[in-house]
Chain A
Amino acid sequence: MSSIISSLPFDPTLTYINGEWVGSSNSQTSSIKNPATGQVIATVSESTTSDLDAAVQAAHEAFYSGAWVNTYSGAQRRDALLALATSIEANRQALEHLESLNTGKPIRDVRVELDDTIDLFRHFAGYADKVEGRHIAAQTNAGLEGYTVKVPVGVVGFINAFNYPLCLLAWKVAPALAAGCTVVFKPGPQTPLTTLFFAHLLHSTGRFPAGVFNVVLGGVAVGQALVDHDLVDKIGFTGSVATGKHVIRSTASTARVRATSVELGGKSPGVVMPDADLQRTAELVISGCMNNTGMNCNALTRLWVHRSIYAEFLPLLKAAAEKIVLGVPQSEDTEMGPLIDRRQMDRVLEYIRIGIEEDKAQLLTGDSSHRVGQEGYWVRPTVFQNVDPQARIATEEIFGPVLSVLQPFDSLDNVIEIERKSEFGLAAGIFTRNHGDIARFTRRMRCGTIWVNNYNALYSYLPFGGFRNSGFGRELGYESFDGYLATKAIIDDITY
């Protein structure tokens, strides 16, 4: 496994700032672990606040010099991103192995993530040369012409989460670069490796001027310096509600304000109606919850099951959960890997304890130890049944493989009323054939994504994001691209 690190085509002890590979300015380093074994696999640099400042200055200079926006037309940005997509594709195996090693994700899952990453760069490349304004002849004065011009928002700072290091990088970086922004990117501190590989591939295309894309590494200190920096125009953040609130406050706490777009997590509900295909639904629900070991902001983590099918449905859920194959990430048979680190594992185990001891909820599956093995951070898929909808395990985001099946329900309209006002509003799913029920659910729920008879399907062209404490702003789709643009209006008297 260390051969994966030793055969990397770049030096992982350095990071990429202003078109160059540099170490941390005070030689700080941090250790990166493989969550499947708990062993250290690599040492990376840790950026100081002056490294961060250098990165932002580089991005700022690259933006205002016009290196990326003026000299490079939309068509050339498009071609640069297409070349990058091709390069990612050519190196996908190495990226897959590296991502799996760093995150513990099963190899079959990272293959899908590479498909998505490549698709995202190709998709957003297509927007780069289609930035249109509108030209409107003013209505009362025939000589006054008005038009709008859309321009990139400027320097964008990204703070990424650990759960989909490369894929979420693509979500953020592809539209931002396509729009003509320049970027300073901070990966999750546990998962920097594929970000560095990406930087290497970007640099190797030779089509991205120095400063257009920069990587800084580290945790809270570097992140804070980034959200506080007055030369950053916009911050894009994915992470917890608590940190997200802090980020938002920080963007208004210095000399200049910064725009924000935040994606903060959820407690997404599923609803199973009496006419659902129970076997198929059980499988969809379990994968909707347990995918990526539950470390998925849109995971289906609280489930409403109609009273009339409750007794019949629960054994199917149990069987589907118990069928999941836990194993080493490199095995093709493995369906679920470990949690990202000890801290996350301890948090999940604590929530299971809270569920049993405080919420007094009954286990449908999962044994008393829950942790699997002593090396690595595996927790067995856990399903609670008959859970009180107000219980802590049913309302707080756990970010692990834990599903709460709530007490049986009778009325879909009551469920909708509860869920549409809940604290979170990221996603929801409904399982039924009835057209009227689907229509009411999809129209009345107030969350960013609604899945009907499926779960977790996401596309580069459909927007994703939250309501309420799940955040604001959209990623994916045209809406995300538009988020990296600002509008100017120009009014011109042509009779003058």
Chain B
Amino acid sequence: DVHIQNYINGEWAPPTNGLFLDKYNPATGQVILQIPDSASADVDNAVKAVKAAFPLWSKTPVSERAAILLRIADLIDENSSILGTFESLDQGKPVFSAIHFEMPMCAASFRQFAKLITDGGIKESESRLESMITPTSITQPKASITESVTQHIAAGVAGLITPWNFPLPMVCFKIAPCIAAGSTCVVKPTELSSITSFLLSHILHAAGVPKGVVNIIFGSGLGAGEPLVKHKDVKLISFTGGSATGARIGALASGQFKRVSLELGGKNPAVFFDDCNIDHAVTTGIRGAYKNQGEICLCASRQYVQHGIYEKFVEMFRQKVRSDIFVGNPLDPKTFYGPVISQQHMDKVLGYIRLAQEEGATVEFLVNPSDTAVKGVSSDGRLTIEGHEGGYFIAPTLITNIKQSSRVMQEEIFGPVVCILPFGTEEEAVELANDTDYGLSASVWTLDHGKLDRVMRQINAGLVWGNNWLNIDQDMPFGGMGCSGNCRENGKYSLEFYTEVKTLSRHVFD
């Protein structure tokens, strides 16, 4: 009967109310451990600690802060197998991917910000200008030379709220820039996958992060997240998650002049022109549809293929999914994707599949015939996996012949469900791609240089890929337009969020 604990002020403790939530293994539907059901009292304790730790941490020389970040990165690397395995158990993602790609991303994040604060990007001060102020009033009777310096100093106490699709990376992408900039934080990871955040608290402690600088409290959005967002001493809120929760956070934080950063969902289009490299396109289209169970805000969940190659593309897509994609036990190295995160989420995804069926769209479940672990497929796409009968598995779902205006095409499903529609002209492709309330990412596929550039520039999304998908340079700004969010993260953009700008303007001589 395993309980994880809150990490406040350098110590681990149960929640003050003694209450816990059940956490289920998505691959089996069984309870595997319990997490604190923290409430306002725990939030208050955490914020008190983090506020007390701020003055010293913000004045700690950048070289010392950087050294701690590098130690954290090293400890993550040393423990990547354990961390990756627990991540897979907790979230349902394939273990190979978790250990070999996602844990290194976490370490890389700490290294990147260690480097940014010592080698470039924002340091404690930035630009310095000498200018002449001409007389404008009786208080400034003489022309004089003034020296202005802008400083970038730590902004203060942050509340970080993270999602369940990439549990540890999401936590690291926020903690790293926050403490690199000299700010301090209370982290409230998602209750749906808290294990690796708990393990991280031990790593932070071992790396020498001073007590109180990072506090991690576990619980639900309502129980722990809301009090954190509303707390008067929390100055910055950084949230990654669904658009509905993001809207709620924005509303809760208003009136207190907090800085709020929201990274929300997406309904990302992929546009394939006749003159694309079709093999590369289909392979990437499949990854874009089903990677991480389709639980990536960047998934290419609506794909538009030009008339000339539409039939061929869809047929290649079908065949390749059936032959290459295995769904099942996340610990099996053959598995491409595992279960979705929870019962509730599975019900939501299956609901969209049923909606498409009711609307008369063509809904296909592309189950691999040689996948012997699959014992059955329900009418709405749920898979029964041998030895994991209670798990939340959904078949790779392909939807065609659906209307652009369908809720299935417009709302974020966040599961292994992709819609593919044909299009005619370049103009039509742009219109279809932009017909959405979201605007996080998009990809464009053509070998024609001018067309590639033109179309990429016309799509309203924060991140547009050309002839690739999910190539992310950690120094380039990442974030969405419209309902996808209101901020940019990565590199100096993340650091900027956790810093305050101050101008010092000093008389030099007359």
Name A residues whose Cβ lies closer than 8 Å to a Cβ of B. Answer: 70, 73-76, 129-137, 139-140, 142, 145, 147-149, 432-436, 438, 452-453
Contact = CB atoms under 8 A, between A and B. Distances in A.
A74 B133 CA distance: 11
A110 B124 CA distance: 50
B132 A438 contact: no
Contacts, number: 67
B132 A76 contact: yes
A435 B447 contact: yes
Nearest to B123: A136
A134 to B, nearest CB: 7
A434 B125 contact: no
B369 interface: no
Interface in B95-127: 118, 123-127
A438 B59 CA distance: 49
A129 B131 CA distance: 8
Nearest to B117: A139
Given A140-B61, A433-B450, A134 B128 contact: yes
A435 B118 contact: no
7 contacts: A132-B127, A133-B128, A133-B129, A134-B126, A136-B124, A137-B124, A435-B467
Contact of B123 (A74, A76, A130, A137): A137
Contacts of B446: 435
B63 interface: yes
A436 B448 CA distance: 9
A495 to B, nearest CB: 14
A149 B132 contact: no
B182 to A, nearest CB: 11
B125 A135 contact: yes
B4 interface: no
A144 to B, nearest CB: 11
How many B residues are at the interface, by size bracket?
Answer: 20 to 34
Nearest to B146: A73
B32 interface: no
B63 A140 contact: yes
Contacts of B145: 70, 73
A435 B448 contact: yes
Contacts of B118: 139
Cβ-closest 5 pairs across A and B: A73-B132, A435-B449, A137-B124, A135-B125, A139-B63
B61 A142 contact: yes
B130 interface: yes
Contact of B132 (A75, A132, A133, A142): A75
B33 interface: no
B447 A149 contact: no
Contacts of A453: 450
Interface in B129-148: 129-132, 145
Contact of A147 (B128, B447, B448, B452): B128
B63 A434 contact: no
A433 B448 contact: yes
B127 A134 contact: yes
B128 A432 contact: no
Given A75-B132, A133-B128, A147-B128, A139 B62 contact: yes
B447 A434 contact: yes
Nearest to B467: A435
A214 B447 CA distance: 54
Nearest to A145: B125
Contacts of A435: 446-449, 452, 467
A453 B448 CA distance: 13
A132 B129 contact: yes
Nearest to B509: A70
A140 B66 CA distance: 12
B59 A142 contact: yes
Interface string B432-446: 000000000000001
A133 B127 contact: yes
B21 interface: no
B449 A74 contact: no
A132 B128 contact: yes
A452 B127 CA distance: 36
A436 B275 CA distance: 13
Contacts of B130: 149
Contact of A75 (B63, B131, B447): B131
A73 B123 contact: no
B470 interface: no
A435 B124 CA distance: 42
Contact of B449 (A73, A148, A432): A432
Contacts of A129: 131
Nearest to A133: B128
A176 to B, nearest CB: 19
Contacts of A137: 62, 123-125
A435 B446 CA distance: 9
Given A133-B127, A435-B448, 19 more contacts: A73-B145, A74-B132, A75-B131, A132-B128, A133-B129, A134-B126, A135-B125, A135-B127, A135-B149, A136-B123, A137-B125, A139-B61, A140-B63, A142-B61, A145-B125, A147-B149, A433-B449, A434-B448, A435-B446
B154 to A, nearest CB: 12
B143 to A, nearest CB: 9
Contacts of B448: 433-435
Contacts of B452: 435
Of the candidates B126, B127, B129, B449, the one having the most CB atoms from chain A within 10 angstroms of its own CB is B449
B131 A73 contact: yes
Contacts of B149: 135, 147
B127 to A, nearest CB: 5
B159 to A, nearest CB: 27
Contacts of B123: 136-137
B276 to A, nearest CB: 11
Contacts of B129: 130-133
Interface in B14-43: none
B131 A438 contact: no
